[in-house]
């Protein structure tokens, strides 16, 4: 053989070896080089070179054996060199392309679940193929050159495996992170290059992009110089070093990296949308954070970083989080620095991605809040970052942990831009490092999220096929009208959403270590559940055990598992059983109805309930019923003497939700004053209604029907609510009374705080109003006690004053109600209020007018039909009735009245009332709990006149 031919053969042999082929071209096989794994090449993707340019990417492969056609199913083939691009090149370039054969190279995708080696070997059976190999992933070898990274000052980056992550995804490629904070230093040497500019609205005095913000080129300031006089502007830059919280956060989210200056950041090149939500004269307060979140979502940010929070949480904040999530955003939120497991907001909202803080050894920081709502933990102690005027410094807290997670989220999103923000969050959460084996974390099992952030794992997993099942909503059905009472079997339904990849057969296991409940249904299967699909799974049957105390909070765990794909996850929720209260969350104010006459909280010291919440301001500390007719006889559950509350009311019928109500929520409860040392002998039916549509969505109606149980007439009766509002800073409040609207209202001297009010709706007796403050000498509360005699003074003094508070304000309370009443034996009177929340005086006044109209024309049930000079009877309400129903009668002159209840065939079931009545309107209640389902009639007789009304009972 010619030596030159031998040399050529040897060359071809080594060439094939370099690609991993065997030396026999007739039986070509491929093996991956030693040490390579799936992370080193793209899945189900091959690089193929054909021998003949005319083939142009064939769709099938010829195995050479018609009995064994190729098994490979091709999803796509894409030319390495675009044909149009070739025709644009010079003749010499075309010659080189043709000579080397770049025009014969294709990227090919396949759908088979086979190894990359098997796929290549299937392709190599076709002699038309010159070679086939994986589409390799390569990695950069350069670390950032930022001085504080090189020196090791930013050790947290190694802790979260950022350098390894950069080997897969080097930077965030311009993903936008919104920094909703105190503002930032837009000219900082390590931030300026990453500041996001809204190119659609240059600074020219015109709202070019028609978004409602003029010249928001560099971001937006929602507060301005002072929250006392809010003036928005287009400059989110901070004017003083004291405001540098947002600057520090900005650097952690996306300091410019590899610029030989300052620090490095995980995201490196993410763009920072700066949204200032604090005032220039207050370094710590965030006044317009929720406005900032909405702005960020509307202007293209997919990661929204919020290093702030507080105890107040209501409908407003949840609506904002829902809005951002529905627009594809991930809202990353600090869990708080209170070292408690009580919920802080917005971290505790459904959909928020809450971040706890761990130290350099992965142990929970002593200051970090925690809880089952936390999604993830991240380093946050002694973190070095940017501060004002081109400087750098260290800060600690969940405020620092949060932008670190936001930065990681941007890197994951850059790796896979088709992901939503929530999907990015789930990838971060499912790919953490477990830190619960550390002794310092043993007291916080599952309350620091899924573990400590690992950016490398998250970026590596961005395209994995793992699902993520998360509960979106819980529906509980019971037989005790929403009170989840002892002995009841509750049915729990979960709206489970698969946020990531499709799966089949996830087992859902419900458990609790609390013996107050017995779980009858412990496990159900999801069946097939696609990505982004939501399925209702249930019912899980749960029995409330006899040992359960009132308002027992049960912690439940939902575990998810699919062993076939090594998927397992869990989450927690709490549920309160044997309730003596129900929370009302159907409109823009959140409140609570109780079984003991209180409003907002059934317990002392603002416990067991929501209070009264408007726009995330928790406005109410106490609202308690007082009924009295002498200085020695006031039945009540308001604060009393020796630091204790009077507890005079006894629960008769536990609070329950009214079925088929005309309101979005209606609940009732029944109590009496039998526990009072000097009872009046009254039974009180409390009723609370809320509506969800404007103009009725900023108030809750509270009604008390007070029935005289005895035969003797009660005289000189006053009934009212003792109310302690705490609007924002409760020590800086004022109270005023609007006699025209019969409304007491409280507001604060602090900026941007709302108004809270109680509007008196009932008019059967004269209004009364008595403002109070323990900070004033000679005030009934000045000595720290509130005696029965003092309570009667506040009840019986009419309109004692119309305002209270001066200077910057006081801690104020007031008593509001009606009296005196005269209540005949077995008769009743109604006392009604509207609890109102609003932005300002005009807002609450409009709601007061709407509430009066709603109560007069709808809630009282046709009372306008009862003309003062005629005998009349209203239709009962509710109708149909399940437990109790009420109706009103008008007596035009003193006389005897008889009310009787009959069944459908005319048999008398009950005599509801049979006695004399004085002229006036009266409300009566029929207890239907012992009645069978069917049609009944109540007949009212008065001085020879009769009216018969039909009533339906449905059980």
Question: What are the tens digits of pLDDT across the range 289-334?
Answer: 999 999 999 999 999 999 999 988 888 899 999 999 999 999 999 9
Note the Cα 464 to chain centre separation in Å: 28
Q: What angle (nearest 5°) sits at the alpha carbon of residue 290, between those of residues 287 and 292?
A: 90
Q: With a cut of 50, say whether residue 128 has pLDDT above it.
A: yes
User: Average pLDDT in the 447-467 region?
Assistant: 89
Q: With a cut of 90, say whether residue 510 has pLDDT above it.
A: yes
Residue 399 annotated in active site: yes
Q: What percent of the chain has pLDDT over 90?
A: 73
Residue 181 annotated in active site: yes
Choose between 923 and 12: higher pLDDT.
Answer: 923
Q: With a cut of 70, say whether residue 237 has pLDDT above it.
A: yes
Q: With a cut of 70, say whether residue 227 has pLDDT above it.
A: yes
Res 24: pLDDT: 46
- Kindly name the residue from 307, 365, 385, 399 that is annotated as catalytic: 399
User: Average pLDDT in the 200-204 region?
Assistant: 95
Q: 332, 306 in Cβ contact below 8 A? A: yes
Res 954: pLDDT: 82
Res 93: pLDDT: 64
pLDDT digits (tens, 9 = 90+) for 582-615: 999 999 999 999 999 999 999 998 999 999 999 9
Res 57: pLDDT: 65
In terms of phi and psi (left: phi > 0; alpha: psi -120 to 50; beta: otherwise), the region of 757 is: beta
Mean pLDDT (the chain) is: 90
d(CA 560, CA 468): 9
Count of other CB atoms within 10 angstroms of residue 780: 20
- Kindly name the residue from 181, 362, 616, 696 that is annotated as catalytic: 181
Residue 373 annotated in active site: no
d(CA 440, CA 566): 28
d(CA 910, CA 233): 70
How buried is residue 603: exposed, middle or buried, by Cβ count under 10 Å (0-12/13-18/19+)?
A: middle
d(CA 667, CA 655): 7
Evaluate the omega torsion of the peptide bond into residue 54 and state whether it is cis, within 30 degrees of 0: no
- CA distances 573 to 312, 558, 906, Å, are 19, 8, 52
Res 18: pLDDT: 31
Q: 852, 844 in Cβ contact below 8 A? A: no
pLDDT digits (tens, 9 = 90+) for 614-638: 998 999 999 999 999 999 999 999 9
d(CA 281, CA 273): 22
- Kindly name the residue from 188, 201, 244, 245 that is annotated as catalytic: 245
């Amino acid at each position: 053989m010619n030596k030159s031919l031998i040399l050529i053969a040897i060359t071809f042999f080594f060439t094939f070896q370099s690609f991993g082929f065997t030396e026999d071209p007739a039986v070509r096989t491929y093996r991956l080089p030693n040490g390579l794994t799936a992370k080193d090449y793209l899945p189900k993707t091959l690089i193929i070179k054909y021998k003949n340019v005319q083939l142009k990417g064939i769709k099938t492969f010829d195995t050479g054996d018609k009995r064994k056609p190729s098994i490979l199913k091709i999803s796509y083939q894409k030319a390495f060199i675009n044909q149009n691009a070739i025709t644009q090149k010079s003749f010499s370039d075309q010659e080189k392309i043709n000579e080397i054969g770049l025009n014969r190279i294709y990227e090919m995708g396949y759908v088979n679940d086979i190894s990359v080696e098997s796929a290549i070997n299937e392709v190599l059976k076709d002699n038309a193929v010159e070679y086939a190999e994986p589409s390799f992933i390569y990695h950069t070898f350069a670390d950032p050159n930022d001085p504080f990274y090189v020196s090791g000052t930013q050790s947290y980056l190694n802790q979260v495996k950022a350098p390894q992550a950069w080997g897969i995804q080097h930077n965030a490629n311009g993903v936008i992170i919104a920094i909703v904070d105190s503002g930032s230093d837009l000219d900082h040497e390590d931030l300026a290059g990453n500041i996001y500019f809204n190119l659609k609205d240059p600074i020219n005095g015109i709202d070019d992009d028609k978004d409602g913000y003029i010249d928001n080129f560099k971001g937006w300031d929602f507060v301005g110089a002072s929250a006392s006089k809010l003036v928005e502007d287009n400059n989110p830059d901070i004017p003083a070093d004291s405001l540098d919280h947002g600057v520090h956060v900005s650097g952690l989210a996306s300091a410019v990296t590899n610029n030989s200056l300052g620090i490095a950041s995980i995201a490196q090149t993410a763009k920072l949308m700066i949204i200032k939500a604090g005032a220039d004269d207050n370094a710590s307060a965030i006044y317009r954070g929720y406005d900032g979140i909405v702005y960020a979502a509307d202007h293209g940010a997919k990661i929204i970083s919020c290093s702030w929070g507080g105890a107040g949480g209501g409908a407003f904040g949840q609506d904002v989080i829902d809005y951002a999530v529905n627009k594809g955003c991930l809202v990353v939120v600090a869990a708080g620095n209170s070292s408690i497991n009580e919920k802080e907001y917005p971290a505790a909202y459904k959909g928020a991605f809450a971040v706890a803080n761990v130290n350099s050894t992965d142990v929970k920081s002593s200051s970090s809040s925690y809880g089952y709502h936390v999604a993830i933990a991240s380093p946050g102690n002694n973190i070095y970052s940017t501060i004002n005027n081109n400087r750098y410094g260290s800060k600690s807290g969940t405020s620092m942990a949060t932008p670190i997670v936001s930065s990681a989220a941007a890197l994951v999103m850059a790796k896979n831009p088709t992901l939503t923000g929530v999907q990015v969050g789930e990838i971060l959460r499912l790919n953490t490092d477990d830190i619960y084996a550390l002794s310092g974390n043993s007291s916080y099992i599952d309350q620091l999220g899924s573990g400590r952030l690992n950016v490398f794992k998250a970026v590596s997993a961005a395209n994995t096929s793992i699902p993520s099942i998360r509960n979106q909503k819980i529906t509980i059905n019971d037989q005790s009208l929403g009170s989840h009472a002892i002995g009841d079997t509750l049915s729990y339904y979960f709206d489970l959403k698969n946020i990531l990849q499709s799966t089949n057969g996830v087992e859902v296991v419900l458990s609790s270590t609390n013996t107050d409940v017995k779980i009858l249904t412990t496990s159900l299967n999801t069946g097939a559940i696609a990505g982004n699909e939501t399925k209702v799974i249930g019912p899980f049957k749960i029995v409330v055990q006899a040992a359960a105390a009132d308002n027992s909070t049960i912690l439940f765990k939902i575990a998810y598992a699919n062993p076939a794909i090594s998927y397992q996850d869990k989450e927690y929720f709490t549920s309160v059983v044997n309730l003596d209260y129900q929370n009302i969350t159907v409109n823009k104010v959140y409140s609570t109805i109780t079984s003991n006459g209180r409003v907002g909280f059934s317990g002392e010291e603002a416990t067991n309930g929501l209070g009264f919440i408007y726009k995330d301001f928790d406005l109410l500390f106490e609202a308690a019923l007082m009924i009295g007719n002498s200085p020695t006889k006031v039945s009540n559950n308001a604060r009393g003497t020796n630091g204790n509350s009077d507890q005079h009311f006894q629960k008769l019928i536990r609070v329950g939700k009214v079925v088929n109500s005309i309101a979005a929520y209606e609940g009732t409860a029944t109590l009496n004053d039998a526990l009072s040392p000097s009872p009046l002998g009254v039974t009180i039916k409390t009723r609370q209604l809320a509506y969800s549509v404007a103009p009725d969505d900023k108030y809750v109606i509270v009604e008390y029907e007070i029935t005289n149980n005895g035969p003797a007439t009660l005289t000189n009766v006053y009934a009212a609510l003792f109310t302690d509002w705490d609007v924002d800073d409760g020590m800086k409040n004022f109270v005023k009374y609007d006699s025209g609207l019969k409304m007491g209202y409280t507001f604060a001297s602090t900026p941007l705080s709302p108004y809270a009010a109680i509007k008196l709706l009932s008019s059967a007796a004269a209004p009364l109003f008595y403002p109070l403050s323990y900070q004033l000498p000679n005030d009934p509360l000045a000595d720290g006690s509130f005696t029965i005699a003092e309570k009667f003074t506040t009840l019986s003094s009419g309109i004692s004053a119309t305002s209270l508070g001066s200077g910057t304000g006081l801690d104020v309370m007031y008593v509001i109600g009606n009296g005196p009443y005269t209540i005949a034996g077995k008769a009743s009177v109604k006392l009604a209020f509207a609890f109102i929340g609003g932005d300002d005086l005009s807002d609450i006044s409009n709601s007061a007018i709407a509430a009066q109209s709603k109560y007069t024309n709808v809630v009282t049930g046709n009372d306008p039909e009862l003309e003062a000079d005629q005998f009349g009877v209203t239709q009962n309400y509710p109708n149909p009735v399940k437990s109790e129903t009420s109706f009103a009668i008008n007596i035009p002159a003193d006389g005897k009245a008889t009310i009787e209840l009959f069944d459908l065939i005319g048999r008398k079931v009950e005599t509801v009332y049979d006695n004399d009545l004085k002229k006036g309107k009266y409300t009566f209640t029929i207890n239907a709990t012992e009645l069978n389902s069917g049609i009944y009639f109540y007949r009212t007789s008065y001085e020879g006149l009769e009216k018969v009304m039909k009533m339906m009972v449905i059980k």
